[in-house]
Chains A and B, each alone.
Chain A
Amino acid sequence: MKAVVTVVGKDTVGILAKVSGECAAHNANIIDVSQSVMQDLFTMVMLIDISDITSDFRDLQNSLGEFGEKIGMKIHVMHEDIFNSMHNI
């Protein structure tokens, strides 16, 4: 099972490190990362494997969500199926 982590907001130092740290702490394996900064707006999309996570999916969502709030960015963790079904025929 895979999930998509998206981070959107003003660019600051250490976002990627912290988000990957959280993923590692929950034993979520990072499969793909892409990021870009456009006019100070930082966007990162990360595909993670959550088949072997050690905690509940909800805990992972909560801890990343809380981290996002702390640094003033929006972090979503969503099952990849929603994107697959919306954008692929």
Chain B
Amino acid sequence: MKSGWLARVLSNILGVALALFFLVPMLWFVFAPFNEHATLSVRIPENFTLNNFQVVFSNETAVRSLLQNSVIISGGVMVLTALIATLAAYGFSRGSLPGREIITYILILFSSVVTGTASLVPIFVLIYNLGMFNTYQGVILATVGGMLPTSIFIMRDFIDGLPRSYEEAAMVSGASPLQIFRDIVFPTLRPGVLVVAVMAFVSGWGAFLTPLILIRNASMRPASIAFYQFYSDEGSPNIPLVSTYAVLYTLPALLLYLFINARYGFRFFGGIKQ
């Protein structure tokens, strides 16, 4: 079995190489913020310092971007996407709209063909004409629009997996449509709503191009753009500060994910466990 032995060694070497490929940037990410003279190479800080954090926190624009602008934009995207996707998917799943299957798939198709960079110019024109240029709402709406097709598709799967008899039992019990949605449908769909909400939050948090073209005021731009605060006038980054800001920028999304996973657990498929 000589060839088997060789294959195992090779696959282990490949595995280690892959692991290093992904691990090294992570290590840099952990070490660089605490090193006053960080470069692009991975190095354990010789003189451990929190000075970088001090400098970053003293930059008012960067702090506001992180704690205010990004929070407003991502929070808005999250709430709006979860709400609209749930209601729309409910209609798609339960309603008797003719051709709803086709509509759902066209939505998905369009979202994967016409998103992002290709649609930036029309989005800019649209938002500008709606009078929402340089506002949070403009960025929120544009991002929500991009998120909705996938979110509706995911929510529809969850709702399709929800037995109709739950709603019917509630109807017969005397509940109004609003009560049914609040007491029965929404709570049983919560795993799906959470998946969509977190996806939307992360997408809003990480959005770069859309806020870049839709918001002109530096004081209103989200953290993803505020990184430029730590670039010199010639356009070269101050690596210790950029890495520090990157850590701060990553934390909220990470914490949100950990919190929801610990509290509710994630499920990426529909259906009710009986």
Q: Do the two chains belong together in a single complex?
A: no
Instruction: Show the binding face of A for B, using Cβ within 8 Å.
Output: none
Instruction: Show the binding face of B for A, using Cβ within 8 Å.
Output: none
